[in-house]
Amino acid sequence: MAKAKSRWVCQQCGFQTSRSMGRCTECGNWNSFVEELAPEDDVAKKGFAARLSNVSAAPSTANKALPLSEINTEESGRLATGMVGLDEVLGGGLMPGSVILIAGDPGVGKSTLLMQVAKNLSKHSQILYITGEESAAQVRIRAGRLGVDSDNVLVASEQNVVNAAEMMLSSDAAVCVVDSVQSVYHPEIASAAGSVSQVREGTQLLIHAAKRKNIATILVGHVTKEGTIAGPRVLEHMVDVVLQFEGDRTRQLRILRAVKNRFGSTAELAIFSMSEDGLKEVDNPSALFLGDRLSKVGQKQAPSGTAVIAGGEGSRSLLLEVQALTVSTPNPSPRRVVNGWDYNRLLQLVAVLDKRSGLHLARLDVYVNIVGGLDFSDPAGDLGIALAIATSFLDRSIDPGLVAVGEVGLTGEIRPVLNLGQRLKEASRLGFKKALVPKASLPLNSAPKGMEIIGVETISEALQKAMPNINFVKKPDSTERAPGSRAENLEDESVFSI
Ligand code: TYD
Ligand code: MG
């Protein structure tokens, strides 16, 4: 490897050296050096650039500014991947020439998903599958397992990214997969494959090739949710679309969502289940996530500490069960543990429940879990989570057929949420008969038939409506106390007894 052709650049101040330094002598930052190709010395890059300009390029409109009205926005060229959920997440299929990064933990099923996409696309287009991780034979074995046998799927086992880009330039493929960006290397960079420099320079070349030949290019990146592995995170701003593929291994569920999308919304998500013969789209994800909750709808009581919330991101709503457990602890600083929900939001909810509804949670451990392994960040889940925590604290239960939708503010007010009608429609479809919703959103234009919709203004009112046997709201003699305060809401602990 020719070390002389690269340089080390401080990512904080831009200072350049010929070797790596622990601390930048210019700006004083630690561990800020990343190896980059020095363009003036880079023969390979020049050669590649010359090759790029020889290729009959896709018509370029980039050189001329046009009035808005003359810019063509036709999107007829999108390629359907044959997987409806994936197409939705992409914003309507693969855009020719776009570069998509699909990031996820090793083993989650990225290669499987892409081979299935290749299978569907191969009916009408050619696909170039470049693998740096596996041998071509291994890819073929997986393809066989997934029933892919089209000659339109071309497989190359290649780790040199310059060769990979050349391969793209000379191919007729409509779609190219590079599996993975961590396994390919640029021969002019001395750093190991998978390092920030390698991943960045390699991706730059692949993006050039993709744009030049108008090939929709899907890059695979191994990354954990925290982005602990160097690489894909530094690519996020270079590529057009970043998809995150997450999994709950125990239930074989896989969730695909867009983190960034230049051609569509980032609110959509697709849900798959991993089976013996590949990934299958889950048609009715709410039913899957709610599991045995649905069998309890129509019964009298749900277990204490549970509630149902309705996510409304994207074009479809998703109903999820939330479970909470509050338990006394000898520990002076009680634990707050949350799975699938925002930790700081939980702290906020616990504080609001304590201050505005008199639930003394300060000495208790509070655990919250969104069932099904989905990461859920929609604030519309606040109300349901508050209900679950309250029912666990009080050891009471609510109607299993009740769904709660609403954001909880710091004064205990229930705030309106987006797409309420759509969320309730999905709940009604699954058999839910009652909904607690923000009063400010009523009346609804499109309320589902046969559903009792209860508008609430405060968290205490919501708890009262969900648990009518407990007295949460105190008599009107506490006029001198601040509205919504704990003192106004209850007299003493006995208000929680039936
Ligand atoms: P893989 O796609 O290789 O994961 P990644 O590329 O993200 O590292 O597949 C991961 C797991 O999926 C692997 O443990 C085997 C399993 N699998 C199935 O269960 N069914 C299948 O049809 C295939 C191809 C894989
Ligand atoms: Mg793989």
- Identify whether the C-beta of residue 451 lies closer than 8 Å to the C-beta of residue 435: yes
DSSP 295-339: HHTTSS-PPTTEEEEEE--SSS-EEEEEEEEEEE-SSSS--EEEE
Task: Specify the residue with its C-alpha closest to ligand 1, atom 21.
Answer: 278
- Identify whether the C-beta of residue 85 lies closer than 8 Å to the C-beta of residue 271: yes
Tell me the two tokens of residue 95: 């855009």
pLDDT of res. 458? 94
The mean per-residue pLDDT over the stretch 276-284 comes to: 88
| HSE-up (13 A, CA, CB side) for residue 418 | 10
Q: Ligand 1 center to residue 423 CA distance, Å?
A: 33
Q: Please identify, by atom number, the ligand 1 atom nearest to the C-alpha of residue 274.
A: 19
**Residue-wise pLDDT tens digits, 133-180:** 899 999 999 999 999 989 999 999 999 999 999 999 999 999 999 998
- Residue bearing the bigger pLDDT, 115 or 497: 115
- Residue bearing the bigger pLDDT, 4 or 376: 376
Tell me which amino acid residue 367 is. Answer: Y
Strand partners, 233: none
- Identify whether the C-beta of residue 244 lies closer than 8 Å to the C-beta of residue 259: yes
For residue 43, pLDDT beyond 70: no
Q: Ligand 1 center to residue 279 CA distance, Å?
A: 9
Q: Ligand 1 center to residue 177 CA distance, Å?
A: 16
Report residues near ion ligand 2: CB below 5 Å: 111
DSSP 255-295: EEEEEEETTS-S--EEEEEEETTEEEE-S-HHHHHHTTHHH
User: Which of 112, 133, 250, 273 to mutate to test ligand 1, by most ligand atoms within 8 A of the CB atom?
Assistant: 112
For residue 392, pLDDT beyond 90: yes
Entry pTM: 0.75
Average pLDDT, the chain: 84
Q: How far apart are CA 215 and CA 30, in angstroms?
A: 39
**Residue-wise pLDDT tens digits, 404-432:** 999 999 999 999 998 898 899 889 988 89
Helical (H) or strand (E) element with 47: helix 43-54
Q: Ligand 1 center to residue 278 CA distance, Å?
A: 7
Rg (CA), the chain: 27
CA angle 76/80/84 to nearest 5° reads 125
